[in-house]
Structure 1
Amino acid sequence: MQINWEAGSRRIEEQDVWAKEVFPTAHERLQQAAAAIPPGTAAQPFADALTELVQAQADTTDFVVLHRWAEILERHFPPELPDPDHTTE
């Protein structure tokens, strides 16, 4: 059991080191790809939300908390407001 615990701990450390090395350049590639999406396309809010969520993760050493997720998603995907010109029969 001790051997398994130590091996698991070592794997987690290795993954953490790898992620810290890879994250900044992967984050930069995400930002570049998101910037290349033409404004007004259907993909734009998804790219903007993902970019902001990844930035929020980059800004913390812990997990992005649920209320932060909700703030970001509400900003990029606001609730539909009723269309005053739309009438139903």
Structure 2
Amino acid sequence: MPINVEEGSKQVREQEAWAQGVFPAAHERPQEGHRDTATQPFVDVLTELVQAQGDTVGFVVLHRWAEILERHFPLELPDLGRTIG
């Protein structure tokens, strides 16, 4: 059992070191890509969510997801003065 725990701990440290080295460049790639106006809002949301995830070193909480999504895809409320006919 102690060997398995030690091996697992070593694997986690190696994965973390790899991610720390790869993440900065990988995070920049979507921002450098082709700017297609149809897909840009999705790229912006994903980029911001990835940044939020990186900032927390944990999970992005629901209210943070909602803030980010609302900023890029605001809810279009119905015009209550308009009549359907």
TM-score between the two structures when normalised by the length of structure 1? 0.75
Paired with 2:43 and 2:55, the residues of 1 have a C-alpha distance of 18
Structure 1: state its 5+ residue gaps. Answer: none
Paired with 2:4 and 2:62, the residues of 1 have a C-alpha distance of 32
Paired with 1:69 and 1:12, the residues of 2 have a C-alpha distance of 27
Aligned-partner residue type, residue 44 of structure 1: Q
Matched with 1:3 is: 3
Paired with 2:41 and 2:79, the residues of 1 have a C-alpha distance of 20
Paired with 2:79 and 2:43, the residues of 1 have a C-alpha distance of 26
Matched with 2:62 is: 66
Shift, 1:88, TM fit: 4.0
Aligned-partner residue type, residue 51 of structure 2: Q
Using the aligned pairs only, state the percent identity.
63
Shift, 1:83, TM fit: 5.4
Matched with 2:16 is: 16
Count residues with an aligned counterpart: 85
Residue 37 of structure 2 corresponds to residue 46 of structure 1:
no
Question: What SS does the corresponding residue of 1:59 show, helix, strand or coil?
Answer: helix
Aligned-partner residue type, residue 47 of structure 1: V
